[in-house]
Structure 1
Amino acid sequence: MAVVKEFKAFIARGNVLDLAVAVVIGAAFGRIVTAMVDGLIMPLTGVFTGGVDLSHLYVALDGQDYESLAAAQEASAPVLAYGAFIQSVVDFLLVAFVIFLVVRAYNRMNKPEEAAPAAPSEEVLLLREIRDSLARRDSGAGNA
């Protein structure tokens, strides 16, 4: 029963709930980024590469020519689908960059307030009094 009690204490901590929420939001965010890459970025990349859809780039390892990646996969040919890899790398970089921006903004919002300067020590206060006293005496002597 001690294990059950420990597990309840573990689940009751706020960190576990925060982590669960982060995983769910992260998965949804990943789908959004994938849709953005598939629908916006890769087509623009295709324009710059002469209409080539990078996600369909592949090399058939059996040495035969296939009209498309789908045709090679239907024929059960071994393929290196490097275009899909490129697309996944773009997905990852975009997700990582957006997470970086979010964390950066969060850190700036939660920046700890700078502590007020410490009060001067007794010695410093005493030296200031002596300095001010000497300054008053010297300015009084010049007027006499």
Structure 2
Amino acid sequence: MDQRVSFITLAVADVRRSRQFYVDGLGWRPMFESDDVLMLPVGEHLMLSLWSVEGFTAEIGHAPAAGIAPLTLSHNMPTEAGVDEVLAMVASLGAEVSSATRREWGGYSGYFVDPDGFRWEVAMNPGPTGDYVLP
């Protein structure tokens, strides 16, 4: 098996509400959408699939567990100002936001919560050349 991830699928309560947040609010462009699913390309070979709880349950055979998903999605920005801009934008959409701070690992990050409770980190993660990179 190749070492890669192709899809991240999140079960959402209301696909239309997710569309309003990600497409109408954040300006992301869907690759595919229906009443049950919204697919958003988030990388060269990576898709974020927002699937209705009902469709997700029918596919996997059981309902997702209640509570906070033990998962954080991350979005890197090249500057601290960029981090603050994204957090301000999602706050204007009504998202719960925790302000960005400098982190012990040398970066700068804050968090927001999407309409279904999924947490997103928005980070400036400097590499040795000042570029934003993954550790």
TM-score range, shorter chain: under 0.3
| Structure with higher helix content | 1
| Structure with higher strand content | 2
- More contact order relative to length (CA 8 Å, sep ≥ 6): 2
Based on CA coordinates, which of the two structures has the bigger radius of gyration?
A: 1
Taking structure 1 as the reference length, the TM-score comes to 0.19
Taking structure 2 as the reference length, the TM-score comes to 0.20
